[in-house]
Amino acid sequence: MSVRILALVGSLRAGSHNRQLAEAAVKLAPEGTEVEIYEGLADVPFYNEDLDAEGIVPEAAVRLREAAASADALLLFTPEYNGTIPAVLKNAIDWLSRPYGVGAIVGKRVAVTGTAAGQYGGVWAQDETRKAVGIAGGKVLEDVKLAVPGSMTRFAEIHPVDDAEVATALTEVVRTLADAPVAA
C-alpha cells in the first residue's frame, strides 16, 4: 500500500531553503511513499468566514482542501518569520481546519520540519505550527522533528538532498510519518 504525503512549504520565495528541503523529501521518500509538494499556496486568499460558504469558497481554497483530504499525511516545512509561523502556512492551516471538526486535516498524521537562518533552525515557528495544526485537528507527531540551523550558509552552495546529515534525518522524518498509525 502506497502512502501519499502532501508537503506544504511556508515560504513563497523562489530560492527558499524550505522549498529545497521539501524537494529533498520528494527525492528521498522511501519505496511505497510518495511526497508531493503542494503548488498554489500563494493563490489561497486569507481565510475569511464570509468566503467559506457553500457555493462561494474560492477555487484555490477548494483545491487546497481537496489535496489535503486525498493525502494520507501532511509534511509541513516552515521558516521562521519574526520568531513565528509565516502567514502563508498559517492561512493554509486555517482553510484546512474548516468546517470546524471535520476539516481536511482532522485526524491526518502531520509532521513539522524546516530550516531557518538562525542558530536554532526555526524551532519557535515549528512549535507554533505544531500547535496550530494540532488545534485544527491534525494528529501531530510531536516527536518527529527536524530543525536545520544556519540555512543561509549551510545551503549556500549545496542542496539539502546532497547534505548527508540532513538527507539522513529527512529520510527518517518521511519514513516515520509514513509508518505512523492511521487515526481511528
- Whole-number pLDDT of residue 94: 98
Helix (H, G, I), strand (E, B) or coil at 146: strand
Domains of the chain: 3-179 (3.40.50.360)
From 159, 169, 179, 172, select the one nearest 21 (Cα to Cα): 159
Helix (H, G, I), strand (E, B) or coil at 175: helix
pLDDT digits (tens, 9 = 90+) for 81-92: 999 999 999 999
- Whole-number pLDDT of residue 85: 97
Average pLDDT over every residue of 48-60: 96
pLDDT digits (tens, 9 = 90+) for 149-173: 999 999 989 999 999 999 999 999 9
Residue 122 CA, chain-centre distance (Å), reads 14
Whether residue 136 contacts residue 93, with contact meaning beta carbons closer than 8 Å, is answered with: yes
Q: What is the pTM of this model?
A: 0.96
